Structure 1
Amino acid sequence: MRYERMRPDQVQAAIAAGVPVVLPLGVMEHHGGHLPAGVDLLAVTEIVERLGDEVVVLPPFAYGAASHAVAGPEHGTTLHVDAGALVPFFEGLCMALLRAGFRNVHAVIHHQSENIGQGMPTDLAFRLAARNVIFRFLEETRGAGWWGKREMRDYYAAHEAGTDPFNWIRLHPLFPKTDAFPFDHAGEGETALMLALAPESVAMERAGEGDPWWTETAPRATARTGEAGVALALAHLRRVLGLSAT
């Protein structure tokens, strides 16, 4: 279900049922001559779309901290926004979601997610914003000292079960930690994903333009490999979103 197409009665029903709400996070970043700027966003949006009406999908956020580590702005396909500018926006969005009643929100990111454990600028900006807002919202709605009150004595059990307030807004990588699918930047893995998800955006004859080492494995990519990656990501998302396996 796409949030922007939902009526109030549909939104309220989704909130009451605890339907997972998904925010695709992405960046615009140079991915060689053969792939589009939005690879990291498209991987998320196209895979999440396959979950259908089991989730509510918010309009995606496409302008993250891409960095110029791969390439500068000269290609026209990297739009870097400093993480410091992202935090206030994410705080505003997270507060709006909580005030609307959502308590099962999940951001999903692919960009730089091989470092998700330690964190990279875009995902760290979102996670910091979400934590700041949850603390602020709880103090506004429950008062100062909310955690110390007796009714919170089951907090640690709730935390262990994943039902405490700090699970109202979470962030997940698109893929699980695995060697079952090649994780790269515009190489075999991401090229295969685009061949499966957005084949019209791929120009294989342009692979290797400018001789970037990171595209050397791209010619090995196939749509079949991409579909295997999609299946892996979908199984992971179903698990972290609490959906039944198919």
Structure 2
Amino acid sequence: MSDDYLRLRSPELSAALQDDVPVIICLGAIEQHGDHLPVGTDTIQAEGLARKAKEVLDARGIRLLLGPSITFGLRQFPSEAPRDRVGTVSISSGLFQSLVKEVANELIRHGFRRLYLLIGHAENDAPAQLAAKELSEETDAVVTTINWLVVSGRLNKGSSAFSSPQGHGGAGETSRMMVLLPDSVDLRAGKAFYPKRYGETYEGADPPYVGGAVGRYKTPPDSFSSDFAGIIGSPEESSAEAGVRLIDMIGTWIADVVEFEESIWKGPPRLASRV
């Protein structure tokens, strides 16, 4: 039987409730990703990583229901996109937080008691955290956020396939999309770009949404040239082989998190050394 919420009939969802199956909800975005990637990249990546995590969990005998995705997210930070480009459809942080709570509350109303909010778009992290906190306070459900964007660099440390750091629309995202939706990628249109001062840093200087300690939300003067096309990185370094490895690595980490969190509520922890 499928464990994709949108493909299940009502009796099958009732059976999943009886089996106490947790639900993962992907929090994506509709956002420009340069000239070479589709505007649904963040949502497509999150859903692909959730499917990989489910595949890993299936092999471990743990069920995970792929819940309905939320495809609208917050506007990009100016540090990633100082100029608007056609394609992005954003909503406010307040509306996003309310939307997450409304969807989660409907699942909780039906009886689902463990929900995982998978962050697929960095800007969604803060309101998703607040939504999870409030849902946990207001209901008897356990609502947990998972932000793979924060740990992907650490997971990949020492084994990166890329010669330089990669950001929005760069080789990491492009490689994953070459696996998840290859026909949507046009590598010929992806030109390398790095803002001025990129890589100049100090301890903890990364922004909070990728695990750092400094929240700078205005763009330093002259960081972006007039030919900026929504990319930070070098898409030409992308490959499907790198994409497979990244999806396996991140999807397995998500599965580890879910298994450990499930063990907290259903039995003694089993994965402390792996998470």
TM-score grouping bracket, smaller chain normalisation: 0.7 to 0.9
Distance, in Å, in 2 between the alignment partners of 1:86 and 1:135 is 19
The aligned residue for residue 56 of structure 1 is: 65
TM-score, with normalisation over the residues of structure 1? 0.75
The aligned residue for residue 189 of structure 1 is: 172
Distance, in Å, in 2 between the alignment partners of 1:235 and 1:169 is 20
Q: Which has the larger helix fraction?
A: 1
TM-score, with normalisation over the residues of structure 2? 0.68
Number of equivalent positions: 209
The aligned residue for residue 234 of structure 2 is: 217
Distance, in Å, in 1 between the alignment partners of 2:77 and 2:145 is 24
Letter in 2 for 1:191: T
The aligned residue for residue 16 of structure 1 is: 18
Aligned: 1:202 with 2:202: no
The correspondence of residues 28-177 of structure 1 with structure 2, limited to 5 A, is: 28-50=30-52, 51-52=54-55, 54-67=63-76, 69=78, 70-71=80-81, 74-112=84-122, 120=123, 122-138=124-140, 168-174=142-148, 176-177=151-152
1:221–1:130 CA distance, 2 compared to 1 (3 A): same
CA contact (8 A) 1:105 1:169 kept: yes
Shifted more, 82-91 versus 11-20: the winner is: 11-20
Distance, in Å, in 2 between the alignment partners of 1:241 and 1:201 is 30
* Corresponding residue to 1:232 among 218, 228, 249: 249
CA contact (8 A) 2:23 2:116 kept: yes
The aligned residue for residue 202 of structure 2 is: none
1:185–1:74 CA distance, 2 compared to 1 (3 A): closer
Letter in 2 for 1:110: G
CA contact (8 A) 2:168 2:233 kept: no
Deviations 1:184-233 (A, max 9, x none): 21111111111111111111111129444844411011000010001101
CA contact (8 A) 2:119 2:148 kept: yes
Distance, in Å, in 2 between the alignment partners of 1:213 and 1:35 is 10
SS of the aligned residue for 2:259 comes to coil
Distance, in Å, in 1 between the alignment partners of 2:139 and 2:155 is 39
Distance, in Å, in 2 between the alignment partners of 1:216 and 1:87 is 30
Deviations 1:46-89 (A, max 9, x none): 22234257321122111110335233675322122110111222
Letter in 1 for 2:65: V
Query: Which structure 1 segments of 5+ residues have no match?
Result: 113-119, 139-164
Letter in 2 for 1:124: A
SS of the aligned residue for 2:139 comes to helix
CA contact (8 A) 2:30 2:39 kept: yes
Distance, in Å, in 2 between the alignment partners of 1:204 and 1:48 is 25
Q: Percent identity?
A: 23
SS of the aligned residue for 1:24 comes to strand
Output the aligned Cα RMSD.
Answer: 2.6
SS of the aligned residue for 1:12 comes to helix
SS of the aligned residue for 2:95 comes to helix
Distance, in Å, in 2 between the alignment partners of 1:41 and 1:14 is 24
Query: Which structure 2 segments of 5+ residues have no match?
Result: 193-226, 261-269
